[in-house]
Each structure stands twice: as structure tokens, then as C-alpha cells.
């Protein structure tokens, strides 16, 4: 019986910086691959592979690196670059920075794709509850979210 994993084959929304970091990670993994292959070969040369924890560990690292490379290559094929800054429609979109007035406080959020979220730095996904509530709204709109009013005072 084969267990299938749910895989999202849709687009991956990244900023230009996020795309560059993904490409750099792929390059680092590819550069490290020969060392991991060498480690596995050296561990195999030590003797009985069935009892060798060093061999099993080296093979595990090699398999994990191969999986990461394949995964990142797949992601890169599906990347859609998010353009930052204001858009012609004047609405909140992917890449927008939104300044909100919430209970007398100003809060700024950048709307990014799911792979680049960092709520502590104000980077929220367009699929997050607040991000999806903001999408498509314009300057001056008031959004009721979780029993609180969020007024859009600026879209950058």
C-alpha cells in the first residue's frame, strides 16, 4: 500500500528577494552534494554496511539532500514574482504594504505569499485570515475582523 502525500502544485508567490534566496539555497545544496556522496562512499568502504551507523547516516543525509534539491527545483518552476509597491487599481494585492488603524494604533503589514510569511516582522500571507480579509480592499475601507475594526489608511 502506497501512502500519497498531499502536494500543492499551484503557483508559489515570492518577492524577488525570496526567489533569490531560494535559488541560493539550491546552489548551496548542489555544491554540498559531492561531499555527501564522498562521505557515503567512504562509510561504505569501511566494511559491513548493514551494521554501519556511519553508512546509514551518510546515506540518510544524501537522500535528504536529493529530496531537498528536487523539491526546490519544483518550487522554482512554479514561482510567480510578486511586484512590490502600489498597483493601478489602488487595492490591496500581493506585494502591497498596508498601513492600518487598529484601536488607535497604526500597524503596517506587507502582503506576501505563504512561503515568506513572518508575522513578527509584519509579513503576512495573502491566505492568512487577516491577509485574505484585506485583499481587494482600498484606501479608507474598514474591515471588521475578529471583533475589531481595521481601517486602511495607506497602501504602498
Per-residue pLDDT, 5: 46
Place of cell 515570492: 14
Predicted confidence (pLDDT) per residue in 5-17, tens digit: 445 689 999 999 9
The CATH number fitting domain 12-81, selected from 3.40.50.720, 1.10.287.180, 1.20.200.10, 3.30.360.10? 1.10.287.180
Give this prediction's pTM: 0.80
- Please list the ranges in the chain whose pLDDT falls under 50: 1-6
Predicted confidence (pLDDT) per residue in 120-142, tens digit: 999 999 999 999 999 999 999 99
Per-residue pLDDT, 46: 80
Per-residue pLDDT, 7: 56
CA 108 to centroid of chain Cα atoms? 20
In whole angstroms, what is the distance from residue 33 CA to residue 122 CA? 35
All structural domains of the chain with their residue ranges: 12-81, 97-155
Per-residue pLDDT, 26: 98
Per-residue pLDDT, 52: 79
Contacts for 83 with CB less than 8 Å, ≥ 6 apart: 95
DSSP state letter for 56: H
Give me the CATH topology for the region 97-155: Chitinase A; domain 3 (3.10.50)
Place of cell 518577492: 15
Amino acid at each position: 500500500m502506497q501512502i500519497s502525500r498531499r502536494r500543492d502544485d499551484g503557483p508559489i508567490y515570492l518577492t524577488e528577494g525570496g526567489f533569490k534566496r531560494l535559488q541560493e539555497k539550491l546552489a548551496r545544496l548542489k555544491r554540498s552534494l559531492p561531499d555527501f556522496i564522498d562521505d557515503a562512499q567512504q562509510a561504505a568502504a569501511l566494511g559491513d554496511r548493514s551494521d554501519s551507523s556511519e553508512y546509514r547516516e551518510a546515506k540518510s543525509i544524501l537522500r535528504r539532500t536529493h529530496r531537498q534539491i528536487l523539491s526546490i527545483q519544483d518550487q522554482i518552476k512554479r514561482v510567480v514574482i510578486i511586484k512590490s509597491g502600489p498597483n493601478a487599481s489602488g487595492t490591496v494585492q500581493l506585494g502591497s504594504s498596508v498601513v492600518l488603524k487598529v484601536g488607535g494604533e497604526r500597524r503596517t503589514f506587507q502582503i506576501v505569499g505563504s512561503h515568506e510569511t513572518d508575522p513578527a516582522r509584519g509579513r503576512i500571507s495573502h491566505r492568512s485570515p487577516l491577509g485574505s480579509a484585506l485583499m481587494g480592499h482600498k484606501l479608507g475601507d474598514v474591515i471588521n475582523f475578529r471583533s475589531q475594526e481595521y481601517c486602511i489608511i495607506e497602501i504602498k
